[in-house]
Amino acid sequence: MICENCEGSGEVQEHNFDKELDSPAFNIVICCFCNGTGEVQEHNFDKEAVSESEFKRFVAVQKSGVTNMFDVNRVSSLCGLPKDKIFDIMKNYGDYAKKFNTEGDDEK
Ligand SMILES: [Zn+2]
């Protein structure tokens, strides 16, 4: 399916936060959803779907900073999610963040 993030162009505009330089407000960057291919594999959210509350529990643990998120055993016990869901969230973090609209903190 066509990548929704870049609408199939493979490129997206990104805010240029480097205000020191006299540079354009946007940079054109390769779309991180599709790695510039313009197409993504359809993500099957129905199969053992991570729910919004599960995702938010993961994010809460992540934001608390109490553990290295790659320590999956500990993350699993802290947020009470099975390891396969942790891996799923880590692998598809952007998808879930978009789906559950939790990116609001640092993006406007
Ligand atoms: Zn894309």
Let me know if residue 106 belongs to a domain: no
How many structural domains are present in the chain? 2
Q: How far is the CA of 29 from the centre of ligand 1 (A)?
A: 10
Cα–Cα distances (Å) from 106 to 70, 91, 101, 102, in that order, read: 22, 20, 12, 10
Same domain, 34 and 72: no
Tell me what the mean pLDDT of segment 5-30 comes to.
Answer: 81
Q: How far is the CA of 63 from the centre of ligand 1 (A)?
A: 27
pLDDT at residue number 35: 86
Q: How far is the CA of 40 from the centre of ligand 1 (A)?
A: 7
Q: How far is the CA of 66 from the centre of ligand 1 (A)?
A: 33
Half-sphere exposure of 22 (CA within 13 A, CB side): 0
Whether 27 has a pLDDT exceeding 90, the answer reads no
Q: How confident is the model at residue 68 (pLDDT cuts 50, 70, 90)?
A: confident
Let me know if residue 35 belongs to a domain: yes
Same domain, 36 and 56: no
Q: How far apart are CA 106 and CA 59, in angstroms?
A: 14
Let me know if residue 107 belongs to a domain: no
Higher pLDDT, 103 or 99: 99
Residue-range definition of the domain harbouring residue 60: 52-100
